[in-house]
């Protein structure tokens, strides 16, 4: 699953840079939007508070404290990242589909202007 997700992200990056001028591709949000605001200052504080507590415990010869709060926040971040990634992947697929549909669309044929050509049709 991780390889598939990584491949999708790399494909999205490659496609969005190639088709940056295409109006259909401009509907795809920038990849940075997946990570925007995901990890907050409180998360950094939580992580370093745990690291300090764990270091103090080890230096005192104790077991490090459980990392339940850190694990819980990590799971929340993971769930949100999965949700955002899925939404991004869907928007990329929609954009690819739109480009592919345009590529295979039959051009409308203009009726021939020459009378001889009209008779052959």
112/101 Cα distance (integer angstroms): 26
Long-range pairs, 56-62, Cβ under 8 A, ≥24: none
Most confident range (mean pLDDT) of 20-24, 31-35, 74-78, 104-108 is: 74-78
83/85 Cα distance (integer angstroms): 5
Dihedral angle, C-alpha 28, 32, 37, 43, nearest 10 °: 140
Average pLDDT of every residue of the chain: 81
Please give the average per-residue pLDDT across 11-25, as a whole number. Answer: 52
pLDDT tens readout for residues 45-69:
999 999 999 999 999 999 999 999 9
Q: Which residue has the higher pLDDT, 109 or 86?
A: 86
Going from N- to C-terminal start, the domains of the chain cover 2-96
In terms of Cα–Cα distance, which of 83, 85, 74, 82 is closest to 43?
A: 74
């Amino acid at each position: 699953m991780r390889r598939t997700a990584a491949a999708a992200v790399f494909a999205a990056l490659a496609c969005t840079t190639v088709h940056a001028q295409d109006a259909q591709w401009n509907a795809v949000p920038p990849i940075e939007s997946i990570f925007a605001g995901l990890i907050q200052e409180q998360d950094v504080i939580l992580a370093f508070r745990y690291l300090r507590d764990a270091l103090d415990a080890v230096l005192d010869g104790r077991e490090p404290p459980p990392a339940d709060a850190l694990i819980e926040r990590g799971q929340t971040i993971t769930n949100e990242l999965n949700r955002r990634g899925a939404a991004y992947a869907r928007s990329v697929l929609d954009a690819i589909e739109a480009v592919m549909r345009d590529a295979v669309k039959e051009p409308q044929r203009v009726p021939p202007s020459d009378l001889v050509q009209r008779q052959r049709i």
